[in-house]
Chain A
Amino acid sequence: MSFLKYPFWEVVKHAFSKEVWDTVFPAVWDTLYMVALSAVITLVLGILLGIGLSVISKDGVRPVPVLNETAGTIVNCLRSLPSMIMIIVTLPLARALLGQSYGSNACIIALAASCIPMYARLVQGAFVEIPKGKIEAAKAMGSSSAAIVFHIMLPEAIPSIIRGFTVALIGIISMTALAGNFGAGGIGDIAVRFGFNRFYHDMLIASVLVLIVMVQVAQLAGDLISNLILRKRHLI
């Protein structure tokens, strides 16, 4: 149903009809699959990269200036590409790795390449926020670098790391929607193929609703978990 042919409220009402959701619902699953997989990859590799960047940075526990500069530059380069460009750039990579440059899995490569560096920087930021004195206290006790990273820095920063992950997750959701345009399927694909190309505005409304709900859930869950931890530690 299009706004061009039908009254506004008719279209809105139809956005909740079975007919619309029969098409939208499978796409939701596609999107959730891509988001979930990209999220897990981003979480794990982003934290690892974030730790690495912090450890070798100038004020880190094991500074390695040359590597720090190099890694920093690479991360910044990856981060300077807008999502759409990153998708286009990684398509050949997807073809090389997966044998195809369309579909959900191909899109996940672009998502990871874009979101891992972004999340790594957020993780690094979370570490920088740890008061220097705590790290020094750990050093003064004779902690190894590994002990400082895994027993002090990571647990101390975990609420901020979770908050950062919420930001990354929302970025992943929006990028997944965009990737729909490039053969990844999912909710973004519905929005463009039906909502934009064919003026099925009821489907467009349904797609928008799905995205809003996903982002809200991500934000609420992230805030909830990080606040629970902070409250347990009596920090809020």
Chain B
Amino acid sequence: MGAYIRTENLYKSFYNKKEKNDVLKGIDLSIDKGDIYGIVGFSGAGKSTLVRCINRLEEPDSGKVWIGDTEITALNKKQLAERRKKIGMVFQQFNLFDSMTVFQNIAYPLKLVKTPKKEIEAKVDKLLKLVGLSDKKYAYPGSLSGGQKQRVGIARALANDPDVLLSDEATSALDPQSTLSILDLLEQVNKELGVTIIMITHELEAAKRICSKVAVLENGSITESGKTSDIFLDPKSSTGKIFLEVYKEFRHDDTFTGGGGI
């Protein structure tokens, strides 16, 4: 299968006062359809910026982004909004709408595309079942636990049958148990719905558990990428090596590994 999501020489800098901060320095990514692709790296490496460039929440300074046959970076505002409806995004801080019930949160993307009421009802029920929250349909996000909130976030991201799911540290605000169940949910979504997932994480554990491939991002450049098993058996980049070392330190703690193992 050819690459489904591609980035070509992506550059992005931020300016703090007069100082230039080069965050992405020529990123080339190539992600196959149906993959769960991990992007790992330390804090500040540019992971969020990279994934936000893919749906252009952040405009890259130069370079191209392709999804399928569409050049995302060439779309105008209206076309971009249209395409975004088929790109789900999950956030570390969930970003649910507090003013809406769980049902309304998940229904929101469907309302955007003017889905008939009955279809919305059926679709939301299906998604609630998928994420295991049918009993919370009319609850407000404020009353949910972090893990439950993220399930709603995932259901909302899946509402319009996206072909791509962008996950920016979806499990970083969760306890180990919820982390595992969310990771399993993402894997299930990938297998059952065939959604291509880009998963950003700074937890090696998470990447090892569900990613088929990973890229290591270091200071705005990808220092290595490939099959997850290869990279973490024998990391070449310094970030990869440190990640593995830290991981080995921590895997003595049972709750943290949660049965993932090497």
Contact = CB atoms under 8 A, between A and B. Distances in A.
A140 B97 contact: no
B143 A137 contact: no
Q: A134, A142, A156, A158: which has the most chain B beta carbons within 10 Å?
A: A142
Contacts of A233: 98-99, 140-142
Contacts of B97: 134, 137-138, 152, 155-156
Q: Which DSSP category, helix, strand, loop or mixed, fits chain B's interface?
A: mixed
B93 A133 contact: yes
Residue from A140, A147, A156, A232 having most chain B Cβ neighbours under 10 A: A140
A144 interface: yes
Contacts of A141: 84-85, 89, 108-109, 112, 156, 160
B83 to A, nearest CB: 7
Contact of B95 (A137, A151, A232): A137
B130 to A, nearest CB: 18
Contacts of A156: 97-99
B84 A234 contact: no
A136 interface: yes
A136 B89 CA distance: 10
A75 to B, nearest CB: 27
Nearest to B100: A155
A235 interface: yes
Interface of B: 55, 57, 80-85, 87, 89, 91, 93, 95-100, 108-109, 111-112, 140-143, 156, 160, 166
Nearest to B142: A234
Given A147-B112, A155-B100, A234 B143 contact: yes
A151 B104 CA distance: 11
Contact of B99 (A136, A137, A147, A155): A155
5 contacts: A140-B84, A142-B109, A144-B81, A155-B97, A234-B141
Nearest to A151: B108
A158 B80 CA distance: 29
Nearest to B58: A136
Contacts of B99: 152, 155-156, 158, 233
Given A141-B108, A235-B142, A136 B95 contact: yes
A139 B142 contact: no
Contacts of B109: 141-142
B51 to A, nearest CB: 10
Given A156-B97, A156-B98, A235-B142, A143 B81 contact: yes
Contact of A142 (B85, B91, B93, B95): B85
A138 B143 CA distance: 21
Nearest to A234: B142
Contacts of A82: none
Contacts of B80: 142
B211 to A, nearest CB: 22
Contacts of A136: 57, 91, 95
